[in-house]
Amino acid sequence: MKECEYQQISGTAQTPSSVPATTLLDGGTKKPRLQRKWEVFPGKNRFYCGGRIMLARQTGVFVLTLGLILCTSGLFFIFDCPFLTEHVTIAIPIIGGLLLFFVMGSLLQTSFSDPGILPRATADEAADLEKQIDNTGSSTYRPPPRVKEIAINGQVVKLKYCFTCRMFRPPRSSHCSLCDNCVERFDHHCPWVGNCVGKRNYRFFYTFILSLSFLTSFIFACVVTHLTLRSQRKGFVEALKETPASVLELVVCFFSVWSVLGLSGFHTYLVAANLTTNEDIKGSWSGKRGSEDLNPYTYNSIISNCCATLCGPVPPSLIDRRGFVQPTAVLLPFSSREVPSYTEKSDSNMEDTCQDFAISCTA
């Protein structure tokens, strides 16, 4: 018994400092798995492929967009291209394939990328901001003001406070109610691409609608040419019976080409003026509300505005969705059931040892 007690107070016994670090965490001895930031992202987004792909929560219209483009293009390559290649030129399927490649590439890049989401303020950052605002020393809570004014190129710009993200939004930023995120240089939320359109993906969105307008016009013209050539030989009714899929392509392209062309022209105007859809609708700098404020972001040149919007480097993502969440585990105290109380046993064992040593000396 005494030997067993002596082993407990020896250096080979485990002490709280020598217990493995994994046992100091709540929930057992296994080391907890590190979470990535996309797994705890506070916005209303969906992530796929380990956070590499992000979409809005409502993706039904985006799937419809993909279906219309792929089905119409597939019918065109199957039913129209063989005839046009034989009777017109082999360049038609090549041009159609290149246009479809640009359309799908720009669409997926717009839909799957970060539009420019601004990370929300942490608790310490929000508390520090409130301390800077409340400089009167009052102990009562004062909510932060809704606006802050700054000057950009001699023009006063108001920065609005976002109570969801707990920060003052940078210029040209806005909070998307569908994605529940503040987006830098927010243009609009587009359900057709299933994502917000902002600073990081606007150029891909513009490339998408521009190439889609060319593809739609190209397929429409080719289908009309196909039906015209067939009707010259066998009549219009017989031509429709031989290629009924061409009629479907014609209807889809006819009703979509006007909206796509109009949208391309509108965004071409926005690019040339260095405006966003959000600013144009609100009339911030376009004078729609009778204000004479000039756009402080323009370079006073169409070429410079186009280069600044479309040709500049893509800024890095600020949310780092594939990064790891910093562990915040706290060392918990030991319970008497899991780890024995070393202090009480050590004191009693030392007392017994001293008594035995005193008896041996007096013997």
Catalytic annotation, residues: 190
**The three-state (H, E, C) secondary structure of the chain, written as one string:** CHHHHHHHCCCCCCCCCCCCHHHHCCCCCCCCCCCEHHHHCCCCEEEECCCCEEEECCCHHHHHHHHHHHHHHHHHHHHHHHHHHHHCCCHHHHHHHHHHHHHHHHHHHHHHCCCCEECCCCHHHHHHHHHHHCCCCCCCCCCCCCEEEEEECCEEEEEEEECCCCEECCCCCEEECCCCEEECCCCEEECCCCEEECCCCHHHHHHHHHHHHHHHHHHHHHHHHHHHHHHHHHCHHHHHHHCHHHHHHHHHHHHHHHHHHHHHHHHHHHHHHCCCHHHHHHCCCCCCCCCCCCCCCCCCCHHHHHHHHHHCCCCCCCCCCCCECCCCCCCCCCCCCCCCCHHHHHHHHHHHHHHHHHHHHHC
Does residue 32 come out as left (phi exceeding 0), alpha (psi in the -120 to 50 range) or beta?
beta
